[in-house]
Amino acid sequence: MIVFTNILKLLSDHGWSTYRLQKENQLPNGTIIRLRNKKPITTNTIDTICRLCNCQPGDLIRYVPDEDQEA
């Protein structure tokens, strides 16, 4: 299972409040709601966040094996 880090905190640490993200048209309100609710986001959104925070996708997501799944 893919697990997202606290992306809104990462953005905030880099000076991007949710207000600023919306005002400067960096992320739409629907995407910010998805981030707040820990819902999946698109690779385009991951690309935008990496650009804004100067980070790599691995800084945003990690893989955690499901205990129920067999290899």
pLDDT digits (tens, 9 = 90+) for 46-64: 999 999 999 999 999 999 9
Residue 68 placed within a domain: no
Which of 13-17, 28-32, 64-68 is least confident? 64-68
Q: DSSP letter string over 29-43?
A: HHHHHHHHTT----H
Joined tokens for residue 15: 């000076």
Alpha-carbon torsion (14, 60, 45, 9), positive or negative: negative
CA distance linking residue 13 with residue 16, whole number of Å: 7
Task: Give the pLDDT confidence score for residue 67 in this predicted structure.
Answer: 81
Instruction: Print the domain residue range for 18.
Output: 2-63
CATH of the domain at 41: 1.10.260
Residue 69 placed within a domain: no
Residue 47 placed within a domain: yes
Number of independent structural domains in the chain: 1
E strand residue ranges, the chain: 2-4, 61-63
